[in-house]
Structure 1
Amino acid sequence: MVTVRFCKWFTVFLCAFSAVSFAQQSIILGSKTAYQYDTEQKITPAPVGYVAFYIDHVGRHGSRYISKSKSEDIAYQILSMAEKQDQLTNLGKDLLRQIIRISELNKNHYGQLTDLGRKDIALISQRMLNNNPTVFNGKEIDVVSSSSPRAKETAEIFVSSFKSKYPNIHVTQQPEDQQTLLRFFDYSPDYDEYKHSKIVKNAVKSVENAPKTQQISKQVAKKIFVDDFIQKLDSGIEVVDKPSVTTRDFVIAIYQLYQELQAFSPQLLKDNYLDLNSYFSVDENTWLNTVVTAKNYLEIGPAFDANGIQIKIAAPLLWDMLNTADIAIANNNIDANLRFAHAETISPLATLLEIEGTSTVAESIFDYYAVWQADKIIPMGANIQWIFYKSEQANQPVLVKVLLNEREVHLPIKSAQYPYYRWSDIKQFYTDKLNKLGLSYVPSPAAN
């Protein structure tokens, strides 16, 4: 844990600090990206005579505090060592101050939702209500979340919007023992074997050890340390709980903290004089994001095979969505099924669904960002929504519109009315796919 102490450079920093530092940058921050919603984005009207009547939803928790203090500890210990040896640049001195303040903010909150995360989830929920007035009649919603405290709190915040508008709505809370449905990544021995396999580890190492990674690490380090200290860091420095921290290790730790700052509101960052933009140019940010997000692509993205075990483990969740939708259509007694989990849930499901931009396998691990972008697929608060529509006329097909992070997306299914697809076509496509993956889809008796 970082020891809190007074920084003699703080007063100088306050004088030099400019409001321009807080200007929003067009930066890529992988799965740590805060949720973004474009209020000007197009919403395609439903076909004439159709109204929405049901939603099937899976969402990620909102922005959170850093999960563990590992990156903070590495940063603080190395910076403190350099400070004692008078080996910090002015930027390095201010970085030490910022690391101390970041640690103060994170203390006793590791893994919890931030205020920004809570706000984003509330807004997603309110938009779901406002954009689909014909869906929600205060009948019933089914809710299930993973046992993670941040997922459970996300569910509570999301549902509170419904309870505020419909005080008498019946909320069915599914038991926590259904964890295999949402945390399937924790319950598959085959997946665990894949995740820790040499093929995954070697691919990650190839990016971490790439010449460009080493080059950029030195570029960043030069902003923070004098040359004598960088030479020591290149060879590896021992710190508590880690036998050797290299220049690359240090820079990656700092970059991960840079990503994590997205969890805080711009106002909080401004009030606390936190801004790590000066340490990473656009090119440095882009490459370091490629390095630290490679594990996401390999472990919960299309990796080497978009139908590999890392994706197939989401099949029971897809089966559940098909089944709950069939029941809702048949019985017409529920407004929505709402599920709350993690990036490790959303990404495999999106790839299994073959939503555009989620299932292309990169030719090289170094090029994966060209075909798979975590910031667009699994930002904090990420969500997949199936919105169901029925016609006011008899004997017309049920239609479905699919949203990824509240944006209309293409499926690998033909449609004469994009973004609206026939439910029968969607169900047939995914039923066939599940069967090919070895999981037969059997409709619930309640849907018949």
Structure 2
Amino acid sequence: MKYLLKSGTVLLTSLFLAASPLSHAGNRSCKAASGGIRQEIAANPELAAGLFNPYPDHNIGIISDAPKGYRPFYISHYGRHGSRWLANDREYSNVTKPLERAAKAGKLTDKGRKLLERVMLAREQARGIEGCLSPLGTLQHRGIAERTFANYPDVFANRAEIDARSTMTVRCVMSMNAFCLRLKELNPDLEIGFEASDRNTAILAHVYGAANEVDPAYKDYCRNGEYLRRAHAIVREKMGSEDFLDSLFTDYVFKNKEEEMNFIFYLFYLVSDQKNVMPENRMWDIYTPDQLYWMTVAENFRGIAKFGGHQGCEKWTLAYAVPLLEDIIGRCDNAVAGNGRAADLRFGHDVVLMALVPLMCLDGYDKVPDDPEKLLAAWNLYDITPMAANMQMVFYRPVRKSDGEVLVKILLNEHEVSLPLKSHNGKYYSWNDVRKLLNDRTNKYKTQTERTK
């Protein structure tokens, strides 16, 4: 049990450190040392869950000491909502309907019948709360808030002013509440303002289209892009979809190839999500280690080629992240200028971080391989966008020199990351240098934003 340096306040993080599978956020070299991702997934199938992975509370990075004479004064944050149930009932029915149809026709194997029981249990448990934050999701954001408070007590001292905003999605609002309420428990004097609105969505999740017009060409790409054909080919040719389906069905039961592929992918999502909501309903045993590896390759590629910095989509996705990065830069400038704000907290979605991370050039993640296997090794979703994934920018100023250089460090999932800039004392950078880098990146993609409005 860890204690804050404040009488009577106890951090509860250790109570749920075992909730998540092993991850190596911010340390890709670990994968080579451990024999590669294929071996990692074989040893720990939970890693195959990708962006459905629970937050790796047990694998938090070491926080370095601030440069001598510097003190933190402001934090800019973006966080994904915490663990959740699948988004809607359709995501469950894409799995249950073919299985129920086959059961009625007597076309399920023993393995298929057992699977049907487990997926029906998952669907029933989710009924009426599809897409909602799970109890684990609440714990994740409380834990992140606790550690942030403990690591940067100067930021959250006295009556510090905090602005918290979220999209209109309920799981994001609840994540914001969990995070901020924990901060208030740790310091009741904090002054926290809350807002969830469409105007926030326009900035915090521009690509969602809920508050913006999204380029019809991007919508068509999402539905019919070449990336889908490549992902489906991996499933058919590498994962061995025919053998996989033969292990569940005694005869072909799908209406068409589209329904078949939807079943395969949505089953993978359902299986992946159980750790977030019903860890006792574990279903990884339906896959062989080889099938699980190739499903991970296919889904990782499909996600990043649709929402991340892949060459097929970056002209849209990184452009849609520009309003968020401009908001971050502007609010950081205001804090540096002395507006008195201690923290800006933002709560949104994984697809936004998938674009924001390469847009900001964090830890070399702006380099996105096209080959799906190489992509998994260099840019995997279980490292970068697990449930409750977050980016934090922590600002420091000299204690005794009011006009001294402001420094900033950036953390991804509570691991300090590097930038392609000259650093000070490890991974601390001049805000002037970081600001120029980020402005250059927004300017590069801003013309794309104008064309896609």
- Shorter-chain TM-score: which interval? 0.7 to 0.9
Q: Is contact 1:357–1:372 with CA below 8 Å preserved after alignment?
A: no
CA distance, structure 2, for counterparts of residue 244 and residue 216 of structure 1: 15
- 1:337-376 equivalences under 5 Å are 337-365=344-372, 367-376=374-383
By how many angstroms is 1:302 displaced? 1.1
Map of 2:335 onto structure 1: 328
Map of 1:257 onto structure 2: 270
Q: Is contact 2:61–2:416 with CA below 8 Å preserved after alignment?
A: no
Q: Are residues 1:269 and 2:289 paired?
A: no
Residues 26 and 437 of structure 1, relative CA distance in 2, 3 Å threshold: closer
Letter in structure 2 aligned against 1:343 = D
Q: Is contact 2:57–2:140 with CA below 8 Å preserved after alignment?
A: no
Q: Deviations over 1:393-426 (max 9, x none)?
A: 3143111110011111111212142211111111
By how many angstroms is 1:283 displaced? 2.2
- 1:79-98 equivalences under 5 Å are 79-98=99-118
| Partner-residue secondary structure (3-state), 2:408 | strand
1:132 aligns with one of 149, 152, 164: 152
Q: Are residues 1:399 and 2:407 paired?
A: yes
Letter in structure 1 aligned against 2:77 = H
Map of 1:203 onto structure 2: 227
- 1:5-154 equivalences under 5 Å are 25=45, 27-39=47-59, 41-137=61-157, 138-154=159-175
Q: Deviations over 1:217-253 (max 9, x none)?
A: 1232233233xx1xx24xxx33xxxx66665443323
The normalised TM-score by structure 2 is 0.81
Residues 175 and 433 of structure 1, relative CA distance in 2, 3 Å threshold: same
CA distance, structure 2, for counterparts of residue 403 and residue 306 of structure 1: 25
- 1:137-176 equivalences under 5 Å are 137=157, 138-174=159-195, 176=197
Of 126-135 and 352-361, more deviation after overlay is shown by 352-361
Q: Is contact 2:173–2:196 with CA below 8 Å preserved after alignment?
A: no
The unaligned stretches of length 5 or more in structure 2 are 1-42, 448-453
Map of 2:8 onto structure 1: none
Map of 1:182 onto structure 2: 204
CA distance, structure 1, for counterparts of residue 221 and residue 59 of structure 2: 43
Letter in structure 1 aligned against 2:311 = F
Residues 87 and 316 of structure 1, relative CA distance in 2, 3 Å threshold: closer
By how many angstroms is 1:62 displaced? 0.6
Map of 2:419 onto structure 1: 411
Residues 291 and 195 of structure 1, relative CA distance in 2, 3 Å threshold: farther
Residues 215 and 142 of structure 1, relative CA distance in 2, 3 Å threshold: closer
2:244 aligns with one of 200, 220, 229: 220
CA distance, structure 2, for counterparts of residue 384 and residue 92 of structure 1: 41
| Paired residues, number | 400
Letter in structure 1 aligned against 2:413 = N
Q: Are residues 1:423 and 2:431 paired?
A: yes
By how many angstroms is 1:119 displaced? 1.0
CA distance, structure 1, for counterparts of residue 424 and residue 183 of structure 2: 34
Residues 309 and 79 of structure 1, relative CA distance in 2, 3 Å threshold: closer
| Partner-residue secondary structure (3-state), 1:269 | coil
Residues 207 and 295 of structure 1, relative CA distance in 2, 3 Å threshold: closer
Q: Is contact 2:47–2:53 with CA below 8 Å preserved after alignment?
A: no
By how many angstroms is 1:149 displaced? 0.9
CA distance, structure 1, for counterparts of residue 94 and residue 356 of structure 2: 34
Map of 2:397 onto structure 1: 390
By how many angstroms is 1:71 displaced? 4.0
Letter in structure 2 aligned against 1:329 = V
Q: Deviations over 1:80-132 (max 9, x none)?
A: 33334443333222111101110111100111011111111111111111111
CA distance, structure 1, for counterparts of residue 112 and residue 221 of structure 2: 38
CA distance, structure 2, for counterparts of residue 26 and residue 150 of structure 1: 23
Q: Is contact 2:321–2:352 with CA below 8 Å preserved after alignment?
A: yes
Map of 1:309 onto structure 2: 316
Q: Are residues 1:289 and 2:289 paired?
A: no
CA distance, structure 1, for counterparts of residue 237 and residue 148 of structure 2: 42
| Partner-residue secondary structure (3-state), 2:363 | coil
| Partner-residue secondary structure (3-state), 1:308 | helix
> Could you tell me the percent identity over the aligned residues?
26
| Partner-residue secondary structure (3-state), 1:390 | strand
CA distance, structure 1, for counterparts of residue 398 and residue 312 of structure 2: 39
By how many angstroms is 1:199 displaced? 9.8
| Partner-residue secondary structure (3-state), 2:279 | helix
Of 142-151 and 196-205, more deviation after overlay is shown by 196-205
Residues 205 and 25 of structure 1, relative CA distance in 2, 3 Å threshold: closer
CA distance, structure 2, for counterparts of residue 301 and residue 181 of structure 1: 17
Q: Which has the larger radius of gyration?
A: 1
Q: Is contact 1:141–1:336 with CA below 8 Å preserved after alignment?
A: yes
Q: Deviations over 1:140-175 (max 9, x none)?
A: 101111011111111111110122122232222346
CA distance, structure 1, for counterparts of residue 432 and residue 239 of structure 2: 53
By how many angstroms is 1:295 displaced? 3.3
Residues 307 and 95 of structure 1, relative CA distance in 2, 3 Å threshold: closer
The unaligned stretches of length 5 or more in structure 1 are 1-22, 440-448
Q: Is contact 1:305–1:361 with CA below 8 Å preserved after alignment?
A: no
By how many angstroms is 1:293 displaced? 3.5
CA distance, structure 1, for counterparts of residue 92 and residue 351 of structure 2: 24
Computed over aligned residues only, the root mean square deviation of the Cα atoms, in angstroms, reads: 2.5
Q: Is contact 2:300–2:376 with CA below 8 Å preserved after alignment?
A: no
CA distance, structure 2, for counterparts of residue 70 and residue 363 of structure 1: 31
